[in-house]
Structure 1
Amino acid sequence: MVEVAGNPIKKFIVKQFLPLGFCFAVVLALLFPAPGDALYSLKVNGWKIITTINMALIFFIFGITLETSELKAAMKGYKVLLLAIVTILFVTGLTGFIFINMDFKPMEFGYGLAIFACVPTSLSSGVSLVIQGYGNAALALLMTVATNIIGIFISPLVVTMILASAIKNIKVNAADLVIKLGVSIIIPLIVGKGVRELWTPALKFAKKYKVPLYLINQFQIVMIVWQTLSHSRHELLKQKFYDILFAIMGAIGQHFFFLVIAMVIAWIAPFLKLRMQDSERKAFIIMCSQKSLPTAAVIISYLPGGPTKDEMSHETPAEQEGQSQGLGDLGLVAIPCIVFYVMQVFIDAFLANGWASKYEKGQALQDKYADQLAELAKLDPDAPSLVEPAANGIGSGADGTDAPATSEVHLGMVDNPEPGDNAALLGSNPQPSDGAGAAAALQISAAK
């Protein structure tokens, strides 16, 4: 989470900037759609200028705040990373075949959910929630980077395959989509990372102004939502309330579906000889259930609009012959994606809070019996420790002492971690459970 010094109102605005921004964007788009629609429609040679700039800024900031040391530390869990890439880009992506064939009215809502299933994991909210739940934040960050880069090449192909299965004569230029995503993602990311590594003032700037950079990043997402809703405002107001409600419920159900898929895969992983530490499992579940709204918005904005199957059904066969079918109003296609993006933060926050509560209870029991455990260790030095040591070097300082390792998470999500939390940010230390505390108490009684 973002830690900000200052008054409670300032802290609240920073931490809740994205949902507050979404609310403002919705109201502004519904009441005054003209400015947002004008920006959305601004094109040069087929390129949507403002949307591309928004996306480029998101990934430039992502690059300039990206810690190389975190990625190197996370590579120790490369097997979990590979499984996450397959799950995010292929397993959940191919569920798009389910959503595109659901009976949504208008059909654009189903198209939106199908496309959203194909995109990479979220950029910042997922890592923030992994930190909140004492998961492996470095691994979560690596999942974000890897899937968003690989997704440039995979997502357009999967989207094209899914849309072609349900939409007759649709023309999607997958190669063009790859180029546009590359310009929007790869180039800004490389430039941002290069500036950070090669120009010392940029590195100092990124560290000093993490919170403002974080807010600028979130503002770009709000801008994309505002432009998209402004463009589709006319069509949105024509829809029946229960159709919109069905789309909202579909987006929420889709996220729960992805959570179940991630949990099932994490559960069967040991049977495939892939053992996950608890912190890795948390990162896997959160990141594999989340999706990136900016990437989805860019893909949608460059897909062909035009008449849908329902609209073409009113035409004669002769009129339909050879006519290319489109996705309809692209703003409507984006609406379930926006709902999914907002709801994934709230739903996963409950999950992360539950994990954090369990971890903190275990830590409290361990701290309570710390002296007694130390005495037991002196009485029988060869006995196995009740408190498992930190792994992968986490929990020991550079000099070999017990000082916790530091972890600076991108986009300013963690500025001032609580004492003892730093090891948890990288997530390698096993987490004590209530059962471990009870066992300690029993052994202490026996010793006395």
Structure 2
Amino acid sequence: MFGVDPFLLSLIGTVLLATFVPCHGAGVEVFHWLAIIVIGIMFFLQGARLSRSAVVDGLTAWRLHILILCCTFILFPLLGLGFHAAFPGLLQNDVWLGVLFLCCLPSTVQSSIAFTSIAGGNTSAAVCAATASNIFGIFITPVLVGLILARHGAQDSNGLDIVFQLLLPFIAGQLLQPWIGNWARRHKKLLSLTDRSSILVVVYAAFSDAVMQGLWHKLPLSELGMIAVVDFILLAIVLIVTALTCRLAGLPFRDEVAVIFCGSKKTLASGVPMANVLFPAASVGIIVLPLMIFHQIQLFICAILARRFAEVTKRRAAAGAALSEE
């Protein structure tokens, strides 16, 4: 739980490959279309894997989810905008766009559920909340990113790209879910490997383009450290705010755990493909850097919290058992 995520190692290896052996010439066009294809397949499979009941539960179990969605799509973006307004010169403009893009993304699914389960939290609520976050994120994230791009005078993405590469594949997967859903869930591990391979293709294409544009000459090592600091502060503030809000709202501890883990996460799996669709090719490599760093920080910090929450859950269960015996 405390080690480096193997997938992060794969991402680092892909970045190094793009740094020393970037695609160029005819290869650029090949990887451009390959990235478009794998993104479509990935969102199609996401739609196919989500059972109709999970989608309905994710959309209708609103009381717990409102708080999580507010953390994901309101608190995070406001913090990102606040940091940028307060410290505009702290990071380069494209890096700041990457931080703001990170703030607009939906929550993760697998790690949110896993950490909630380890901590003894409300796992079923985490499943619904993470599902709802990802469903809404397909629609909300492009809108939020568009507002931010307009605010900062950056080039907006083509709305048709969002429709054809993200929305239509997801909807097609949902429509075919009654026929292929069971197959997709039975081969979850294989499809997860396919998803991760798709992300590596997109990362390689993005960083190849960025490297050819002089990425590592523009981005000093000190800025990578500053990105990590900004990511850590963002995560810490959201964790504190979610915990305090849950206690003020009087939520049960198990629900509090679900809110903390689902509300503080940001998805790398959907984030990298979304960046490839939403931003110009030359900017994608640098824009996803804050997300890649945030990914490892959130896994490390939440692993520590999950173990501590698990101890609290055990103590509460023991105390409850003692009271029942009396």
- Please give the range of the TM-score, normalised by the shorter of the 2 chains: 0.7 to 0.9
Percent identity between matched residues is 21
1:277-313 superposed Cα distances (whole Å, 9 cap, x missing partner):
333222211111111235443454355659xxxxxxx
Q: CA deviation at 1:440?
A: 5.2
Higher relative contact order (CA 8 A, sep 6+): 2
Aligned counterpart for 1:433 among listed residues 317, 320, 325? 317
1:317-361 superposed Cα distances (whole Å, 9 cap, x missing partner):
xxxxxxxxxxx84422221121112322222122222223443x3
User: Which deviates more from structure 2 when the two are superposed, residues 121-130 or residues 245-254?
Assistant: 121-130
CA distance in 2, matches of 1:228, 1:30: 11
CA distance in 1, matches of 2:25, 2:173: 28
Aligned counterpart for 2:71 among listed residues 57, 75, 87? 87
Structure 1 residues 51-66: aligned runs within 5 Å: 51-66=35-50
CA distance in 2, matches of 1:86, 1:128: 21
CA distance in 1, matches of 2:274, 2:188: 28
CA distance in 2, matches of 1:137, 1:440: 25
Please say if 1:99 is aligned against 2:99.
no
Residue number in structure 2 paired with 1:181: 162
Contact persistence 1:17–1:215 (CA under 8 A): no
Q: Gaps spanning 5+ residues in structure 2: where?
A: none
Distance verdict in 2 for CA 1:185–1:161, change over 3 Å: closer
Residue number in structure 2 paired with 1:131: 117
CA distance in 2, matches of 1:135, 1:180: 38
Paired residues in the alignment total 320
Query: Secondary structure, in 3 states, of the residue corresponding to 1:34?
Result: coil
Residue number in structure 2 paired with 1:237: 216
CA distance in 1, matches of 2:82, 2:107: 19
Contact persistence 1:42–1:49 (CA under 8 A): yes
Residue number in structure 1 paired with 2:267: 292
Residue number in structure 2 paired with 1:334: 288
Structure 1 residues 85-234: aligned runs within 5 Å: 85-101=69-85, 102=87, 103-165=89-151, 167=152, 169-172=153-156, 176-177=158-159, 179-197=160-178, 199=179, 202-233=180-211
CA distance in 2, matches of 1:55, 1:133: 33
Q: CA deviation at 1:74?
A: 6.0
1:177-202 superposed Cα distances (whole Å, 9 cap, x missing partner):
4x4333333322233233331x2xx3
Across the aligned residues of Structure 1 and Structure 2, the Cα RMSD in angstroms comes to: 3.3
CA distance in 1, matches of 2:121, 2:25: 39
CA distance in 2, matches of 1:49, 1:134: 44
TM-score if structure 2 supplies the norm length? 0.82
CA distance in 2, matches of 1:329, 1:72: 36
Please say if 1:33 is aligned against 2:22.
yes
Q: Gaps spanning 5+ residues in structure 1: where?
A: 2-14, 271-275, 307-327, 363-431, 444-448
Distance verdict in 2 for CA 1:187–1:133, change over 3 Å: farther
CA distance in 2, matches of 1:213, 1:242: 37
CA distance in 2, matches of 1:194, 1:263: 38
User: Which deviates more from structure 2 when the two are superposed, residues 232-241 or residues 296-305?
Assistant: 296-305
Mark the structure with the bigger radius of gyration. Answer: 1
CA distance in 2, matches of 1:26, 1:142: 34
Aligned counterpart for 1:247 among listed residues 214, 217, 227? 227
Whose helix proportion is higher, 1 or 2? 2
CA distance in 1, matches of 2:120, 2:26: 42
TM-score if structure 1 supplies the norm length? 0.62
CA distance in 1, matches of 2:237, 2:244: 11
Q: CA deviation at 1:42?
A: 5.5
Structure 1 residues 261-410: aligned runs within 5 Å: 261-270=241-250, 276-302=251-277, 329-359=283-313, 361-362=314-315
Structure 1 residues 404-423: aligned runs within 5 Å: none
CA distance in 2, matches of 1:64, 1:35: 35
Query: Secondary structure, in 3 states, of the residue corresponding to 1:291?
Result: coil
Q: CA deviation at 1:171?
A: 4.0
CA distance in 2, matches of 1:105, 1:61: 36
Query: Secondary structure, in 3 states, of the residue corresponding to 1:347?
Result: helix
Contact persistence 2:44–2:173 (CA under 8 A): yes
1:6-65 superposed Cα distances (whole Å, 9 cap, x missing partner):
xxxxxxxxx9542332232233222222269945x669xxxx533333332332222232
CA distance in 1, matches of 2:62, 2:50: 19
Q: CA deviation at 1:75?
A: 6.7
Q: CA deviation at 1:203?
A: 4.3
Distance verdict in 2 for CA 1:75–1:206, change over 3 Å: same
Q: CA deviation at 1:76?
A: 7.3
